[in-house]
Amino acid sequence: MIGTPTKLPPIQQLVEIKTVAEQLHFKVSTLLLHGGKVVEAITWFHKHLSSGGQLTGPPEVAFLNWEWLSRQYLVFAELLETSSAAIPSSVSPRSGASDISLTEWELQPAYYYQLSAHYLEKKRYSLDQSLSVQESSEVTDANDSTLESISPSIFVGQYGRLLDQGDTFSMTPLSDGEYTSYALAEGKRYQDSFEIIALFRKSFESFDALKAPRMASFCGSRMAKEHFASGDFGKAKQVFDGIASIYRQEGWVTLLWENLGYLRECSQKLGSQKEFIEYSLEMAALPIFSNGMTITPVDGGDYGPAGAASLSQREIIQEEVFRFLKGETISTNEFNFLPIVSVDQPIHLEVDPVSPLRAVFLASVAFHDQVVKPGVSTLLTLSLLSQLPHPVEIGELDIQFNQPACNFTITGCQERPPASKFVRVEEGSRVENASVLILTTRKWLRLTYEIPSGQSGKLECLSVTAKLGPHCTICCQAESPASMEELPLWKFDQAQNFPTKDPVLSFSGQKIIQVEEPDPLVDLNLNAVGPALVGEIFTIPVSVISKGHAIHSGELKINLVDARGGGLMSPREIEPFSPDDHHVELLGVSGMAEDDEFHETDKIRRIQHSFGLVSVPTLAVDESWSCNLEIKWHRPKPIMLYVSLGYCPTDTEGASQRVNVHRSLQIEGKTPVIISHRFMLPFRCEPLLLSNIKLQPEADQSLSLALKETNILIVSCKNCTEVPLQLTSLSIEPGSNEIAIHSVQRTGGTSTDYVLLVPGEEFKQVFSVVPQCDSSKLGIGFVCLNVSRKMDPDAVRNSSFLVKQKLPDVKVEKPPLLVHIECPPYAVLGVPFTCYVRVQNQTSFLQEIKYSLGDSQSFVFSGPHNNIGYVLPKSECIINYKVVPLGSGMQQLPLLSVMSVRYSAELHPSVAASTIFVFPSQPHFDVEGVSNILDLNCQ
C-alpha cells in the first residue's frame, strides 16, 4: 500500500511538525554527544525546545505539548547518560562556543529526568481537564467505536482511519475532532503515575549519587506524593520518613510541615496510632507563628493534607490529637482506620536527646550538690518545657533513677496551695504532690524536691515519664542543664526563662551526683619487707581486722598496675605462651584456711596474671583474717599493688549497702645480682687463632677459643640490692654435649656453698672450659645461681630462687701454632736464669717461623735478637735464652715476638705473661708458714 501525502488539518499538522523535529533532534544530539561536544548538544537541545515548545495548539490538545516536552527531556537524559563514556571529564558549562549560560546541573542526566517527570505531571493535569470537558460535552458512545480503526500512517507524524474494502485496505484522513477524540482516548488508557514515579526515582537516585541531598529530597518528595496519590501509602511513608530527617537538619520548617502532614495521613491510613500521634505532636510543636497568612506552596500545588502552615492549624492539630489520646474518635471525611486508644491499646512514647519530640516534652534535671554524704538528703530541681501552642495538663510524673529506692511519683493537687506539699508512702512507693502540673508554651515548669542520697556511688536521674491521658505516657530521657543541647528548630526563639531559678545552676547543674562511701570500721593492712627481687616468689602479708563492722559477703580484689604507666605484658609476641611474657605475675594466695586455699588459689590462676579475687569469710566484730599474696617478678619493674576489700556490715540481703576499703602499695622490683664473666688463656700460653687475624669490622665480634685447649672462665656475681643475699650454689649448665666444663677446686679458703653476700659485695668462681669440637657458633651454657634472702630465723618464708643468665656463644677452632713461655716463678738480682720458648706445630705442614727478642733496660740476655726456624709437622721447636736481671721488683722480660711466615701472623705474649718478680738477694722461705701464705694468696 502506497500512501499519498495530503494537506493535514491544523492539529495534525502541528503533531507532524513536532514528530519530525523530534526525529531530527535525536540524530543531531546523538552525533554531538558521541563526539564529546556536550555544551553544543545542550545548546542545540535548548533551541529545539524553544522552537517546538511554542507550538502548543488549542487548549483541548494542550496535553500533547506537555507530553512532547516530557519525552524530549527523557530522550535527552538517556542520551546524556549512555554517552557519558565518550564525554571528557574536563567538560564545564563554559566549554565550547555557546550564547546560552549553562549551569552545573545541566550536565547531569538527573536534571533532565526531573524535568521530564515534571512535564509529565503537567500533561496529566491538562489531560484530566480535557477529559472533564469531553465528558460534559454531547459526544456519544457510538463515536468511540470508530476510534479502534485509527492507526499511524506510513508518513511520520500522521494518523488515518484504516478501512477494510474486501481484498484491500485503504487509509482515509481524519478530522481534527476525530484525532482529538483518539488522542484523549489513548491518554486515558495509559497510567502516567507509574512513569512519573519511575522518572522521579531515577532523578532521586542520580542526585543522591552526586552527593546533592537537597535536590534528591525534592525529587523524593515529588515521588512520595505520587505514591500517596496512587494509594500506595506504605511506600509513600517510607520515602517521606527519609526526607523528613533532611528537612529537620536543614531547618526547613514549611517543607517539614507539608512532609509531616503526608506522614500523618499515611499513618492514619495504615492504622498506626503511635506514629500518627508522634507526627501530630511534632507538627503542633513546629516554630510557626503566622496566623491567617496565605503562603504559596513551593511546587505550585496544594498545601498537602495538613493545609497551610499557621498557628491556628497547629492549635487544631494539638486539640485533635489530645482528643484522640482521651479515647475519642477523630472525625474524617473517609473511613477511620485508627484504633481507639484504650486500656487494651495504650500509647507509650519515647523521647531521647536526638528525637524530634524534644520540642513536645523536654525534661531537665539538676542536683543542687555535686557530692553528698550517705544518708543525707539533697535537693533536686525538675524542669519541664513544651513548645505546644496550648497548655498541656499532666496527670502525673514518674521520675526514675539508677537506684530504684530513690524513684518517686508527682501527682497534681489543684485544690492545695503551693506551700502544702507533703510526702506520703503508699505500698512502698514515694508520692509527692504538686500544686500545678500544667506546661505553658515556651515556659519552664520548675519543681524542687528533696532526694535521699541512697547507696554510695553514682546517683543518676534516668528518665521522666509524664501521663498525658488515661492511657498515654511519654517517657523523656533526663538531661543535665549544663550539657543540654538547644532545640534545632527553636534556636532563634528560646524559652522565656531559665530551667532553674538560680541561673548559675542552669549552666552548671548535672543530673548525676556522687554519693560518698560510708566510713569503714575495718582495717586492711599490707606489709612488705624491702624491695622485690627478680625471680623470687615475693610474699606480701594481708590482714583484715574488724573494729566495729561485722564482715559479710566479703571480697578481696587484687590488682597489679605498672607504676610508670606502661603495661605488665612484654611487647614481644611469643607463641606458645610463656610465663616470661609477663613482667610481673600474681601467682596465688597462701596462708588461708585449708578448705579455701586450693580453691581460691586455683581461681586466681584462672582469672588473670595481674588480677585476683578472693572471698573473705564472715567475721564478727574484733575478729581478724589474713592471707599472703605471692607475686613473682620476671623483669625489674616498679608496680602499684591495689587491694580493695568490699563487704556488707549486715547479713540481710539488700538491707545495707556495700562498704569498700582501699589500700595501695608501691613495690620496686630489682635485679638481685649482676652476673659478669670473662675468658682467660692459660698462663704464658698463646695460640694462633686464624679467625682473629682475618677479622673484619663488619664481621661477627664473638670470642674465639682454641680447640681441645684449657680455657679459663671467671664468673663474677655482685649483690646490687639493699638486702643481704645468701649464695647457695653457683654452677654452669652446659648448652652442648661437646663441651666439658669442670669446676676448679680451690686450695683452701671459704666454701662456695652458703656464701653470704652483703650489698655491693662481689663473689667470683673459676671454671675451665675445654672445647671438644670445631664450631663457628657454640653455646657455652647458662650461669645458674641459687640465692635467697638472708632473713631472721623466725621469718615466715626463706625460700631460695634461681637466677639464670645465658653465656654468649663462642667460636671454636684448631690453632695451627701454639707458643708456650717457660721461665722460673721468680728471679734473683744478678743471677742468670734460662727462659724457654716452646713452639708447637699442630698442622701437617712444615712451618717457618721468625722470632725476635727485643732489648730491655732491666735484663741482658745471650742469643740472637732475630732468627729463623722451622718446625716439623706435629712436632715442636724449643728456643732458649740466658737472661740476667739488672733490677729488682716487678720487671718485664724482653719483648718476645714469634711470626708465622705461612699465615703472616705474629704472636706477642701478654704483659702479665712477660712479667717476673726479681728479688734483690736470694730469699729464704719459712717452710712452716708456707700453708698460711698459700691460704692468704688464695683468699
End-to-end CA distance of the chain: 136
Q: Render pLDDT for 558-572 as a digit per residue (tens, 0 to 9).
A: 998 888 765 555 444
pLDDT at 827 > cutoff 60? yes
The Cα–Cα gap between 642 and 628 comes to: 14
pLDDT-based confidence at 743, cuts 50/70/90?
very low
- How many helices and strands, by DSSP H and E, does the chain display? 16, 50
% of the chain beyond a pLDDT of 70: 79
C-alpha cell at 145: 467505536
C-alpha 133/C-alpha 617 separation (Å) is 97
Residue 747, pLDDT > 70, answer no
Asked whether the predicted pLDDT for residue 734 surpasses 90, the reply is: no
Q: What is the mean pLDDT of residues 207-227?
A: 90
Give CA 237 to chain center in angstroms.
Answer: 36
pLDDT for position 573: 39
pLDDT for position 708: 81
Residue in the block written with cell 492511657: 471
Grid cell 524553544 — which residue? 50
Q: Which three cell numbers stand for residue 434?
A: 504538686
Tell me the average pLDDT across 922-930.
Answer: 67
149: pLDDT confidence band, cut at 50, 70 and 90? low
Q: Over the stretch 613-659, which tens digit does the pLDDT of each residue have?
A: 888 888 988 889 998 888 888 888 888 899 999 888 888 755 457 88
Percent of the residues in the chain that have a pLDDT greater than 90, as a whole number? 15
Instruction: Provide the mean pLDDT of the chain.
Output: 79
Q: What's the pLDDT at 88?
A: 54
In this model, does residue 418 exceed pLDDT 60?
no
Report the pLDDT averaged over residues 460-468.
92
pLDDT at 18: 82
What is the model's pLDDT at position 163? 63
> How far apart (Å, rounded) are the C-alpha atoms in residues 605 and 414?
65
Q: How far apart are CA 456 and CA 458, in angstroms?
A: 7
Cα of 456 vs its chain's centroid, Å: 32
The phi-psi region of residue 595 (left if phi > 0; otherwise alpha if psi is between -120 and 50; otherwise beta) is alpha
User: In 3-state terms, what secondary structure has residue 761?
Assistant: coil
Residue with the bigger pLDDT between 595 and 472: it is 472
Cell 602499695 sits at which residue? 665
Quickly list H helices, 55-175.
Answer: 62-82, 109-136, 142-145
With a CB cutoff of 8 Å and minimum separation 6, the contacts of 457 are 514, 515, 517
The 10 Å Cβ neighbour count of residue 453 is 21
Q: Would you give the DSSP letter of residue 354?
A: T
Segment among 123-127, 133-137, 407-411 with least mean pLDDT: 133-137
DSSP three-state, residue 823: coil
pLDDT at 94 over 50: yes
Q: Which among 352-356, 409-413, 518-522, 573-577 has the top mean pLDDT?
A: 352-356
Which amino acid is present at 108? Answer: Q
Domains in the chain and their CATH numbers?
10-190 (no CATH), 214-292+302-325 (1.25.40), 347-515 (2.60.40.10), 522-664 (2.60.40.10), 673-813 (2.60.40.10), 817-919 (2.60.40.10)
Q: In degrees rounded to 5, what are phi and psi of residue 142?
A: -65, -35
CA-CA distances (angstroms) from residue 245 to 242, 251, 253, 264, 355?
A: 6, 10, 12, 15, 11
Model pLDDT, residue 748: 36
Q: 425 vs 852, which has greater pLDDT?
A: 852
Q: Which residue matches cell numbers 602499684?
A: 640
Tell me how long the chain is.
939
Q: pLDDT tens digits for 791-811?
A: 655 444 557 888 888 888 888
Q: Does the structure show a pLDDT above 90 at 260?
A: yes
Rounded CA separation 184/60 (Å): 9
Q: Is the Cβ–Cβ distance between 790 and 724 less than 8 Å?
A: yes
Is residue 254 predicted with pLDDT exceeding 70? yes
CB 713 within 8 A of CB 808: no
Question: How would residue 496 be classed by pLDDT, with cut points 50, 70 and 90?
Answer: low
Specify the higher pLDDT residue, 603 or 101.
101
- Predicted confidence (pLDDT) per residue in 281-299, tens digit: 999 999 887 764 545 554 5
Query: How far apart are alpha carbons 780 and 739 in whole angstroms?
Result: 7
What are the tens digits of pLDDT across the range 158-169? 666 666 656 666
Would you state the pLDDT for residue 793?
A: 52
Of the CA atoms within 13 Å of residue 771, those in its CB half-sphere come to: 25
The answer to whether residue 451 scores a pLDDT higher than 50 is: yes
Least confident of 37-41, 188-192, 301-305, 405-409: 301-305
Residue type, 706: A
Q: What is the pLDDT of residue 401?
A: 92
- Which sign, positive or negative, has the C-alpha torsion 741, 742, 746, 747? negative
Distance of alpha carbon 3 from alpha carbon 156, whole angstroms: 11
User: Which contacts of 309-313 are long-range, i.e. CB under 8 A and separated by 24 or more positions?
Assistant: 309/253, 309/254, 309/257, 309/258, 311/389, 313/288
pLDDT at 239: 92
**Does position 98 have pLDDT exceeding 60, yes or no?**
no
Using pLDDT thresholds of 50, 70 and 90, give the confidence band for residue 106: confident
The pLDDT tens digits of the residues spanning 670-682 come to 888 998 888 877 7
What local confidence, expressed as pLDDT, does residue 474 receive?
Answer: 93
Average pLDDT over residues 238-249: 91
Residue 464 has pLDDT above 90, yes or no: yes
Highest average pLDDT, of 239-248, 751-760, 802-811, comes from 239-248
Q: What is the identity of the amino acid at 538?
A: F
What pLDDT sits at residue 128?
A: 78
Residue 146 confidence (pLDDT):
62
Look at residue 433 and tell me whether its pLDDT is greater than 50.
Answer: yes
pLDDT in tens, 328-349: 776 554 545 566 777 778 889 9
CB 214 within 8 A of CB 454: no
Gap between the Cα atoms of 343 and 255, Å rounded: 36
- pLDDT > 60? residue 424: no
912: which DSSP letter?
Answer: T
pLDDT tens, 357-380?
Answer: 999 999 999 999 889 988 788 999
